[in-house]
Amino acid sequence: MDRFLFLTLDGVSTGAVYAAFALALVLIWRAARLVNFAQGAMAVATAYVGYAVVSATGSYWLGLGAAVLAGLALGALVERVLMRFVGHANPLGDVIVALGLVLLIQAVLGMVFGNEYRPTAVPFDTDALTVGGIAAMSPYDLWVLGAVVVVVALLALLFTRTSLGLRMRASAFAPEVSRLLGVQVSRMLTVGWALAAAVGALAGMLVVPTGLGLHPHAMDLVFVIAFTAAVVGGLDSPAGAVVGGLLVGLILSYVTGYLGPDTTPLAVLVLLLAVLLVRPGGLFSGPRARHV
Amino acid sequence: MTATRPSEVPTERPPAAPSALRRLLPGAPGSGTVGGSTLLRHLIVAVLAGTAVVLLTNQLPPYQNLQVARVGAFLCVTAGYTVLVGLNGQLSLGHGALMATGAYTVALVQQALADRAVQGRWILPLSLLLAAGVTAAVGLAIGLAAARLRGPYLAGVTLAVATLVPAITTIFTDVFNGEQGLRFPAETPPASLGAYFQPERWLAWVALLAALVTMVLMANLVRSRFGRSLRAVRDDEVAARLAGIPVARTQVLAFVVSAACAGLGGGVYAVLTGTVAPGKFALELSLFLLMAIVIGGLGSLAGAVWGAVLLVALQDLPSLLTETFTLPSGLARRLEGNLALAVFGLTLVVVMLAAPGGLQGAARDLLARLGARRRHPSR
Amino acid sequence: MTAILEVDELSSGYGPVPVLRDVTFEVPTGTVTAILGANGAGKTTLLRTLSGLLRPTTGRVRFDGEDLRGVPVERLVRRGLAHVPEGRGVVAELTVEENLRLGGLWRRDRADARRAQDEVYQLFDPLARRRRHAGHQLSGGERQMLALGRALIARPRLLLLDEPSLGLAPRVSGQIMTLLRQLCDGSGLTVLLVEQNVRSALGIADQGVVMSLGRVVMATPAAQLRDDEQLRHAYLGF
Ligand SMILES: Nc1ncnc2c1ncn2[C@@H]1O[C@H](COP(=O)(O)OP(=O)(O)O)[C@@H](O)[C@H]1O
Ligand SMILES: [Mg+2]
């Protein structure tokens, strides 16, 4: 029972990171109708920037800020320089370009920083606190959870309460009409990418110290998990991404806890296939049928 | 002035959307002769190509022959892969895992036979056939799911498959021996070739034979009725269904065929070293394969050859570089591996943005443009 | 009388085949001009080319005497040209309020944008009652009101309307036509109206431009099309 509780709490905190990652995927999907397969690699790149700043300045918070800023810049850059120019004639074009970017980013990281694991500093204790004799969350887990909650809340505010959010939503739903109403749709697309990459950067900073370690490939599996989370929630639904992330985090925590860490990739695949084959629009899909 | 106005010039109807995709995908002949004559032509070309390369291998030192053999192994994979992605429009990222399936099959079969002290020249072809068969079965499983998935969803699922290899080898560590992987007896040239026959030359022959068989089969498949179904399904599923093509079955079959090729290629790849280990079949391998078929031109078998050659050649780039220039050892170590990765990634991005038809498509466009200029000198 | 819009030898289309061919006509300031013609005549294509959604292959469009070539779509509304597209373009996922706000986001004068929004609610009180409803919950008539109101928030000088009465009950479409006429007479708005419903369009129009197969076959005072039976027969088929 104690173990179950521990795994549940652990699942919630890793699930929060997956939720943030899935949210980043959903942001780009809604803005551009494409899955950013480079999301993981981009997050690793910004995590390198972040932790380089941490070790240079000794301040975790400066590093976190640097990573998020780097995410904004990288996201905007990728959209402006690459994704904008992918032809629409081949429906696979954007996936292929993103995968090329994955190789490129990982190679550059390997050349600049080396392929070894690098230690990462964390601002909070990663040992679990014991509450009433039961090992519960660590302070670091609480920080992760809190950070993701704040980000989700900020994004919700941005999209529902600000005119930038309204512009972004309108551009995603009806680009042509939005242009006729004076919205600079292509700029909104860039903003969407920047925002998504910044969220991804934050998620990367949060997830790297939790057992992954900083490494060019640190996010390979995390990306697949986040994709699964986004699919579970439905690629169109930001709220679904959050719920999907938590759900996948929990399931994987139980699987890892009871069956061993090696089974994780298998569990991810099974989960992904199950959702896609049974409920292709995601668990929270509305009545509108979507083409998968 | 008026003469240049488009409205005055009789032009063709605008191409429908699907044919825009078709333009992207070279090596998609609209019509081709079906039947024995095509097979014969392909066989003749294959025999000529095979003879040329065999003659070449006689001149090459061992390492280069091993390179030729690697090209052969990859060509088996890229030929089937480009048919699936280019001609059928299904983007799989799991072909590295399919290669692993073939490689482990060969290793397990050969190991089992060696343990029982079974010997014979038939072991190699048998194990390769089994590699293709087992991988085809795995491909069937993935293909059945894939037929219900589209675009990024299929890419995501197969990406998950690609990350599976190390996990599976660790979970079933009794069978696959985890990270260490498996060893099996090295392939040796037959005695009839003489005692001093270069082993690498024999490996090159084996790989080339497998590649030629694959190429001939794929070339015929592309021009067959099934090949036309593949393209029809890619271009417009609804139209294909209306035309009486069983869409799902076509997609599944495409996956099976492609998987069989990947399994054969993976099996040959294992034979070249006599070892298999999960590290060789990481996610990167799938991306390398994708780069190979994209740079050649999606859907083009000639492009698959380009791709396989470049895949092997570019992987050697860093060592060539570090040998040519004396680099500090730290830098050399970082460049090693990563440089090839960077080149592959950059290639994927640049080709997809600048020449989505790949080398084969770019060459064809260039020829077409030159031809057009000759006909309309004013433009 | 000056022309707010001058269209000169305009051609455009989708891909290599031209749809519009050498279209030439003028829209006098403060008038209602009706573009008439059968399905597929190129009316929508004309409006899309005027507002820059389609790039003309040849020809010129002048708005207020200024050449519109190279002016991006999203800047036209800032110059005073509003386009209500075919099918109305209500963003179904956004609420009525959000749709209206969207129409005024580009405006510097926030106070006037708010004022314009209130005016729209006064003009169309069904919208005022459904502020929080999503676009897809509205009836056809309400959607048309929303699309029209949203365009008016930009305080345009020229309004391009693509089949506003499509799918509406005759009474509702009649109301909209009357409103357009009133806006024209009251505030000096110029309207370029594409309509299938020839009678109601001619009822309020000053000028009729008849298109066929991508060409302008006649541009004449609307009264003449209304009254001259022979002309109507020849060009409009009734
Ligand atoms: N997106 C498009 N692609 C290709 N052709 C089109 C497209 N839209 C319209 N057309 C063609 O352009 C012609 C004019 O269409 P349109 O401008 O919509 O006519 P109208 O609005 O007068 O009914 C028609 O022949 C139609 O087939
Ligand atoms: Mg129309």
Give domain limits for chain B: 36-182+197-280, 282-379
Q: How far is the CA of A88 from the centre of ligand 2 (A)?
A: 25
Domain residue spans of chain C:
3-80+156-236, 90-155
Would you call A177 and C92 a contact, using CB atoms and an 8 Å cutoff? no
Residue in this structure with the two tokens 């040329």, named with its chain if needed: B52
* Long-range Cβ contact pairs of A47-52 (< 8 A, separation 24 or more): A47/A201, A47/A204, A47/A205, A47/A208, A47/A214, A47/A218, A48/A109, A48/A112, A48/A113, A48/A214, A50/A201, A50/A204, A50/A205, A51/A118, A51/A120, A51/A121, A51/A205, A51/A208, A51/A214
Neighbours of chain A (3+ CB pairs under 8 A): B, C
Residue A129 has what DSSP assignment? P
Q: How many independent structural domains does chain A possess?
A: 1
**Tokens 């109807």, located at residue:** B13
Least confident of A2-11, A126-135, B197-206: A126-135
Residue nearest to ligand 1 atom 4, measured at CA: C14
As for ligand 1, residues whose beta carbon falls within 6 Å of it are C 14, 19, 37, 39-45
| C176: nearest Cα among C166, C164, C184, C190 | C164
Q: What is the C-alpha separation between B65 and B211, in angstroms, rounded?
A: 15
Q: Are B105 and B135 in contact (CB under 8 A)?
A: yes
> How far, in Å, is the centroid of ligand 1 from the Cα of C42?
6
In a domain, A285, yes or no: no
Contact between A144 and A13 under an 8 Å Cβ cutoff? The reply is yes
Q: Which ligand is nearest to the CA of C43?
A: 1
| Inter-chain residue contact A169 with C93, CB threshold 8 Å | yes
CB C181 within 8 A of CB C200: no
Asked whether the beta carbons of residue A183 and residue C102 sit closer than 8 angstroms, the reply is yes
Check residue B53 and give its pLDDT: 84
Give the position, in ligand 1's atom list, of the atom nearest the Cα of C38. Answer: 22
Question: Could you tell me which residues come within 8 angstroms of residue A229 by beta carbon, excluding any fewer than 6 positions away?
Answer: A15, A18, A19, A21, A22, A241, A244, A245, A247, A248, A249
Q: Is the ipTM of this complex over 0.90?
A: yes
Residue B282 phi, psi dihedral angles, 5° rounding: -70, 170
Rounded to 10°, the helix C140-152/C96-104 angle is 20
d(CA B281, CA B260): 17
Q: Is residue A59 part of a domain?
A: yes
CA pair distance B211, C45, nearest whole angstrom:
53
Pocket test for ligand 1, best of C11, C44, C193 (most atoms within 8 A of CB): C44
Q: What is the rounded average pLDDT of the residues C176-203?
A: 89
Strand order across the C81-84 sheet: C81-84, C158-162, C190-194, C32-37, C207-212, C215-221
What integer pLDDT is reported at residue B376 of this predicted model?
58
For ligand 1, atom 5, name the residue with the nearest CA: C14
Q: Which amino acid is at B209?
A: L
Q: Is there a contact between C21 and B14 if contact means CB atoms under 8 Å apart? A: no
Distance, in Å, from the CA atom of C186 to the CA atom of C178, rounded to the nearest integer, reads 12
Question: CA quadruple A204, A207, A208, A209: dihedral positive or negative?
Answer: positive
> Cα(B182)–Cα(B186) distance, rounded to whole angstroms?
12
In a domain, A283, yes or no: no
Tens digit of pLDDT at every position of chain B (379 positions):
333 333 333 333 443 444 443 433 434 444 344 445 778 888 888 888 888 888 888 888 888 899 999 999 999 999 999 999 999 999 999 999 999 999 999 999 999 998 898 888 888 999 999 999 999 999 999 999 888 888 889 999 999 999 888 888 988 988 998 888 999 988 888 888 887 888 889 999 999 999 999 999 999 999 999 999 999 999 888 999 998 899 999 999 999 999 999 999 999 999 999 999 998 898 889 999 999 999 888 888 999 999 999 999 887 777 777 777 777 777 777 777 788 889 889 988 998 888 878 887 888 888 888 776 665 544 3
Topology adopted by domain C3-80+156-236: Rossmann fold (3.40.50)
Q: What is the band of C11 on the pLDDT scale with cuts at 50, 70, 90?
A: very high
Angstroms from C47 CA to nearest CA on chain A: 12
In contact, C20 and C11? CB cutoff 8 Å: yes
Report the separation in Å between the CA atom of C176 and the middle of ligand 1, taken as the mean of its atom positions.
25
The rounded distance, in Å, linking the Cα atoms of A226 and C219 is: 60
Phi and psi of C24, rounded to 5°?
-135, 125
Residue of A37, A17, A32 whose CA lies nearest to A172: A32
Q: Is A28 on the interface with B (CB under 8 A)?
A: no
pLDDT at A185 over 70: yes
- State the pLDDT at residue B25: 40
Distance CA B29, CA B141 (A): 30
Q: Residue C7: is its pLDDT beyond 90?
A: yes
Query: Distance from the CA of C29 to the center of ligand 1, in angstroms?
Result: 28
- Is residue B171 within 8 A of residue B33, CB to CB? The reply is no
pLDDT reported for residue B5: 38
For the segment C170-176, the average pLDDT, to the nearest whole number, is 87
Closest C-alpha among B293, B324, B348 to residue B27: B293
Nearest CA to ligand 1 atom 9: C45
Best B81, B148, B163 member to test A by mutation, with max A CBs in 10 Å, is B163
Spatial neighbors of B113 by CB under 8 A, at least 6 apart, are: B119, B123
What's the CA gap between C91 and C98, in Å, rounded? 9
Contact A167 C102 (CB under 8 A): yes
For residue C193, what pLDDT band results from cuts at 50, 70 and 90?
very high
Nearest Cα to Cα of residue A175 among C154, C85, B18: C85
Contact by Cβ (8 Å): A269, B164? yes
> Strand, coil or helix: what is C18?
strand
Tens of pLDDT, residues A94-120: 899 999 999 999 999 999 988 888 888
Query: Domain for residue A287, yes or no?
Result: no
Nearest ligand, CA C87: 2
Nearest to A104 among B159, B290, B349 (CB): B349
CA A251 to chain centre: 18
Chain C hits for A180, Cβ within 8 Å: 51, 53, 73-74, 76-77, 82-83, 85, 89
Of the given ranges (A77-81, A178-182, C173-177), which has the lowest mean pLDDT? C173-177
Question: What percent of chain A stands above pLDDT 70?
Answer: 96
| Confidence band of A1 (pLDDT split at 50, 70, 90) | low
Kindly report the nearest CA distance between residue A187 and chain B, in angstroms: 21
**pLDDT at site B340:** 84
Nearest C-alpha to atom 17 of ligand 1 is from which residue? C42
pLDDT at B34 (0 to 100)? 44
CB contact under 8 A, B159 and A224: yes
User: What is the CA(C148)–ligand 1 centre distance, in A?
Assistant: 23
Asked if C37 contacts C214 with a C-beta cutoff of 8 angstroms, the reply is no
User: How many C-beta atoms lie closer than 10 Å to residue B94's C-beta?
Assistant: 31
Amino acid letter, residue A227: F
DSSP structural state of residue C58: E
Q: How far is A292 from chain B (nearest CA, A)?
A: 5
With contacts defined as CB-CB under 8 Å, which chain B residues touch C22? 7
- Whether residue B46 lies within 8 A of chain A, CB to CB, comes out as no
Q: Which two tokens stand for residue B161?
A: 């498959």
CA distance A36 to C211: 46
Would you give the DSSP letter of residue C221?
E
Under an 8 A CB cutoff, do C11 and B6 touch? Answer: yes
Select the residue from C20, C57, C58 to test the B interface by mutation, using most B Cβ atoms within 10 A.
C58
What share of chain A has pLDDT > 90, as a percent?
Answer: 60
- The CATH number given to whatever domain includes residue A162 is 1.10.3470
d(CA C18, CA C56): 10
Helices B317-324 and B329-354, axial angle in degrees (round to 10): 130
User: Which residue among C14, C15, C21 sits closest to B7, beta carbon to beta carbon?
Assistant: C21
**Mean pLDDT computed over C90-96:** 93
Return the HEC string of chain B: CHHHCHHHCCCCCCCCHHHHHHHHCCCCCCCCCCCHHHHHHHHHHHHHHHHHHHHHHHHCCHHHHHHHHHHHHHHHHHHHHHHHHHHCCCCCCCHHHHHHHHHHHHHHHHHHHHHCCCCCCCHHHHHHHHHHHHHHHHHHHHHHHHCCCCHHHHHHHHHHHHCHHHHHHHHCHHHHCCCCCEECCCCCCCHHHCCCCCHHHHHHHHHHHHHHHHHHHHHHHHHCHHHHHHHHHHHCHHHHHHCCCCHHHHHHHHHHHHHHHHHHHHHHHHHHHCEECHHHHCHHHHHHHHHHHHHHCCCCHHHHHHHHHHHHHHHCHHHHHHHHCCCCHHHHHHHHHHHHHHHHHHHHHHHHHHCCCHHHHHHHHHHHHHHHHHHCCCC
Contact C3, C26 (CB under 8 A): yes
As given in the structure block, the two tokens for residue B10 are: 């009789």
Q: Where are the beta strands (DSSP E) in A118-237?
A: 130-131, 134-135
Residue A92 touches partner B, C-beta closer than 8 Å: yes
Q: Looking at beta carbons, which residues of chain A come within 8 Å of C150? A: 181
Residue with tokens 């005016």: C119
pLDDT exceeds cutoff 60 at A133: yes
Query: Cβ(B266)–Cβ(B99) under 8 Å?
Result: yes
**What Å distances lie between residue A67 and A57, A70, A125, A205, C223, CA to CA?**
14, 5, 21, 7, 68
Specify the pTM.
0.87
Q: Which of A86, A104, A291 is nearest residue B345 as measured by Cβ atoms? A: A104
